[in-house]
Amino acid sequence: MLKKLSETPSQTAGPFLHIGCTPAAIDINVFRYEIGLAPFGDISFDDVINIKGRIFDGNNEPVLDAMIETWQCDSNGNYFGYQGFARKATDFETGEYFIKTIKPDSNNDNKGSQISSYISFWIVARGMNRPLITRMYFDKKGLENNKIFKGFNIKKRLNTLLPQTKDNKNFIFDIHLQGKKETIFFEF
């Protein structure tokens, strides 16, 4: 059998990730356009959902220099192309991120079992040597019955994967890096 090559290790994105990833936000106008600004292009008003939130560090301070990328399927459960990808830096003053997208449908795991709908979150920042990966689920029941979580002792923390739901279009999803409310993060 061929020897596998070793994967290149991760390093922190550092505090200046905006230069390469969201340059227009700091007035560097080099690229034709930035990626991840509108995950499904122009969405009709009826379909729009808004997600906002902050990332809190171990001192419960909002992280002001993080970048979040999200990846999700569409309203039919399909992942494709560049659609479904969003990228947002957290606000330099408030730490808030804001994503305007559509609600994904449930989709299947790679064995064909259904998984209730969620959006994948990928987070980098200064102080993070590796990205952190989590998910925002929409449905409490579906999350509790989700068999990918069977066998883990995380019942008390499962609600960290759920947003505060203001109405069926507006969600607040805060992420806690440490502490009593520490968010569940994933590895694969």
Partner 1 sequence: MINKYQPKRNFPDYKSSIIRSPREEPLMIKLTNSEITGPMFKKEILNNSDNDLTINFSKNSEKPLGQEIFVHGFVKDENGNGLKDILIEIWQANAGGKYRHRNDTNEVSLDKNFGGCGRFITSLDGYYIFKTIEPGAYPYPNRGIEWRPKHIHFSIFGSMFLQRLVTQMYFEGDPLIKFCPMVNSIPDVNARKLLIGKLDLSKTENEKILGYRFDIILRGKDQSYFENKIEGL
Binding residues for Fe ion, rule: CB under 5 A, are 14
Min CB(165)–partner 1 separation in Å: 21
In angstroms, the Cα distances linking 3 to 6, 8, 86, 188 are: 9, 15, 36, 21
Min CB(159)–partner 1 separation in Å: 14
Min CB(167)–partner 1 separation in Å: 25
Query: In this complex, which beta carbon is closest to partner 1, that of residue 166 or of residue 171?
Result: 171
Which does residue 155 touch among Fe ion, partner 1, none (CB within 5 to 8 A, set by kind)? none
Which does residue 103 touch among partner 1, Fe ion, none (CB within 5 to 8 A, set by kind)? none
Residue 167's φ and ψ, nearest 5 degrees, are: -155, -175
Instruction: Report which secondary-structure segment, H or E, holds 16.
Output: none
Query: In this complex, which beta carbon is closest to partner 1, that of residue 119 or of residue 167?
Result: 119
Query: In this complex, which beta carbon is closest to partner 1, that of residue 1 or of residue 46?
Result: 1
Min CB(12)–Fe ion separation in Å: 9
Q: Which of 98, 172, 90 is nearest to 126 (CA)?
A: 90
Phi-psi region of 36 (alpha: psi -120 to 50; beta: other; left: phi over 0): left
Which residue sits closest to Fe ion, CB atoms considered? 14
Query: In this complex, which beta carbon is closest to partner 1, that of residue 141 or of residue 150?
Result: 150
Q: Return the DSSP state at 6.
A: P
- Return the bridge partners of 69, or none: 87, 122
Query: In this complex, which beta carbon is closest to Fe ion, that of residue 14 or of residue 163?
Result: 14
At a CB cut-off of 8 Å and minimum separation 6, what does 187 contact? 133
Which does residue 122 touch among partner 1, Fe ion, none (CB within 5 to 8 A, set by kind)? partner 1
Distance CA 186, CA 122 (A): 10
Which does residue 144 touch among Fe ion, partner 1, none (CB within 5 to 8 A, set by kind)? none
Which does residue 114 touch among partner 1, Fe ion, none (CB within 5 to 8 A, set by kind)? none
**Cβ atoms within 10 Å of 54's Cβ, excluding its own:** 20
